[in-house]
Structure 1
Amino acid sequence: MGRVSSPADPTTPSRRDRPRRRGSRILTVVGVLLIAFGVGVLGYVGYQLYGTNITSRHAYDSEREQLKRQWQQPATSADPQQGGTSKKDTVIPGDAIALLSIPAIGLHEIPVLEGTSDDVLARGIGHYSQTADPGQVGNFAVAGHRITHGEPFSKLLELNRGDQVVVETRTKIYTYAIDNAPKKLTVTDTDSWVLDPVPGKPNAEPTKKLITLTTCQDLFHSPDRSVGFGHLIDSRKKS
């Protein structure tokens, strides 16, 4: 005959204990899932803050070296920097077009790429395609990340009036001076007037050679943008 358990038998859980154990198992499973979720979130945040910087800085190096090799090759008649076809007809979105340096904040030869898509901004500084080319009459406007993806503009809000921005193309080096520091102007991401040929005057005919720098106003996602303006003070041919 099989053993008959009595309520006093310690080897057999009572009916009262069974729901408690099932509840304990559920809490354990929920706890494990919450820990896994937390680890996943921390991993994602860590990748955004650090991993994307590593990946993007490798991309910066690659774009820079590729552009310099391209400049060493003979220019074609279609090269807009040689007075040929318009840049709009020759440059593909995502192409590197220049190198940008800002000595005052330790920025050195960051590639400037055509367009401002997420992919472009992960590989360098983006040039607003509808704005002027480097060194040309009008408004040469660019955008860059302040945090993540290489964060080239992480210190942009430290710029002051008179600080210089140097833009190198195949044939020339253009130097701009900051007129309005980025820390003094905040706009929303829909305030497109900052990209006008004459910022804030959409119908005005441009006569000056300007530069506009834009970046996120906050360290994390925000619709606000910090904007700096400058003008060309020097242009010289590369030897």
Structure 2
Amino acid sequence: MALTTDAPPEPPAKAKRRRGPAYWIGLGMLLAGLAVLGWLAWQFWGTTWEAHRDQRKNVQLFERGSRLTDAEALIRIPRFGKKYVVPVYAGVSEDVLARGFGHFPHTADPGQVGNYALAGHRITHGQPLRDMPELRPGDKVIVETHRATYTYVLDTNPNDLVVSFTQTWVLDKHPHNPTPGGVEPAARYHRLITLTTCSELFHTDNRMIAFGHLVGTKKHPRHGPRPLPTTVG
């Protein structure tokens, strides 16, 4: 009698589970959430990394006296550390503020009679004024141009003056606060600096303001290499 070697019968194939609308909606929401997180990460860290890289390049070009940079000046604020240096560009458009400080049109140039008014981000795009609330009267703001280095001293605490972005009096040649007794530059100073930034880290229509005045000017030599900047205490 022959032996049989028949294999056991195969188990029935499992029926394919069909994914319903809830699965695809959930997957779509997950992907959308990841996209939003990626966008936020780029806004908070990516744009700052990119801005710092661009700033380093333009600072080096400016310090060499190269005309390959469109920076007007360099800003140093000792309160923010010895390595703090940020370029200044003409205008206050979003493209300008993404790169560093913006110089308000129709305001004075560094060292001139009038109001040298600057704007900078508190968050994203290099965030040059992230720590503006830490500034105090007596802190120095050093502005280096190709012709001279100008030292300003702040007279007001930025935490004491927050205005709507529509209050453009802070950009006037000699700002006068329309609120009686409100913070404004002292009348005896004629060469002013104004720093403006968002009053909060995230989106706001209000601006934090600090005023200061010029206390020193150091001309650069017309010929030969410019001296390296020194730290001002």
Identify whether the pair has TM-score above 0.5, normalized to the shorter chain.
yes
Contact 1:137/1:206 (<8 A) preserved: no
Secondary structure of 2:20's partner?
A: helix
* CA deviation map 1:18-66 (0-9, x unaligned): xxx87x6100000000001110111110100000011000111122122
1:188 and 2:164 aligned: yes
Cα distance in 1 for partners of 2:70, 2:136 equals: 30
Cα distance in 1 for partners of 2:76, 2:101 equals: 11
Contact 1:138/1:206 (<8 A) preserved: no
Secondary structure of 2:123's partner?
A: coil
Shift of 1:129: 1.6
> What are the equivalent positions in structure 2 for 1:161-180 lying under 5 Å apart?
161-180=137-156
84, 98, 112: which is aligned to 2:73?
98
Contact 1:135/1:209 (<8 A) preserved: yes
Secondary structure of 1:111's partner?
A: strand
Aligned to 2:49: 54
49-58 vs 98-107, which moves further: 98-107
Residues 134, 209 of structure 1: alpha-carbon distance in 2 compared, 3 angstrom cutoff: same
Q: Structure 1 length as normaliser, TM-score?
A: 0.77
1:45 and 2:36 aligned: no
Aligned to 2:86: 110
Shift of 1:95: 2.9
* CA deviation map 1:89-129 (0-9, x unaligned): xxxxx931111000012262211111111111111110002
Contact 1:120/1:126 (<8 A) preserved: yes
Aligned to 1:220: 202
Contact 2:189/2:213 (<8 A) preserved: no
Cα distance in 2 for partners of 1:99, 1:12 equals: 71
Contact 1:138/1:207 (<8 A) preserved: no
Cα distance in 2 for partners of 1:174, 1:98 equals: 10
Contact 1:132/1:140 (<8 A) preserved: yes
Secondary structure of 1:108's partner?
A: coil
* CA deviation map 1:160-219 (0-9, x unaligned): 0111100011121111111112111101111100000011279xx997100000001111
Aligned to 1:17: none
Cα distance in 2 for partners of 1:104, 1:233 equals: 17
Contact 2:196/2:208 (<8 A) preserved: yes
Shift of 1:236: 1.4
Give ranges in structure 2 of 5+ residues lacking alignment.
1-11, 179-186, 222-233
Amino acid of the residue matched to residue 110 of structure 1?
V
Q: Structure 2 length as normaliser, TM-score?
A: 0.79
Cα distance in 1 for partners of 2:76, 2:14 equals: 76
Q: Which runs of 4+ in 1 moved over 4 A?
A: 10-13
Give ranges in structure 1 of 5+ residues lacking alignment.
1-9, 14-20, 74-93
Q: How many residues align?
A: 199
